[in-house]
């Protein structure tokens, strides 16, 4: 569909939410929220890359441990 184009999905994630602290690492059915979002994005056939944009080392480590780019 997009000839000679690369499409990246960028998922923003940060730990400093005031209303729901540590939200990206909150577990839903045993899996962290940020990983569930990345899992869903990885099913989209048009995305060449899934990148989690974060400033927090713990999110970066969690995401990279599961094979996603941060």
For the segment 21-55, what is each residue's pLDDT rounded down to a tens digit? 899 999 999 999 999 999 999 999 999 999 999 99
Q: Is the model more confident about 2 or about 8? A: 8
Residue 3 has what pLDDT?
78
Residue 10 has what pLDDT?
98
Residue 1 has what pLDDT?
60
Question: pTM value?
Answer: 0.89
**Considering only CA atoms, which of 50, 15, 57, 46 is closest in space to residue 35?**
50
Residue 54 in contact with residue 13, Cβ under 8 Å? yes
Residue 32 has what pLDDT?
97
């Amino acid at each position: 569909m997009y000839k000679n184009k690369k499409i990246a999905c960028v998922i923003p994630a940060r730990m400093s939410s005031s209303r729901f602290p540590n939200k990206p690492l909150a577990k839903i059915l045993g899996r962290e929220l940020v990983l569930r979002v990345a899992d869903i994005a990885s099913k989209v056939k048009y995305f060449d890359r899934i990148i989690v944009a974060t400033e927090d080392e713990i999110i970066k480590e969690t995401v990279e441990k599961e094979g996603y780019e941060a």
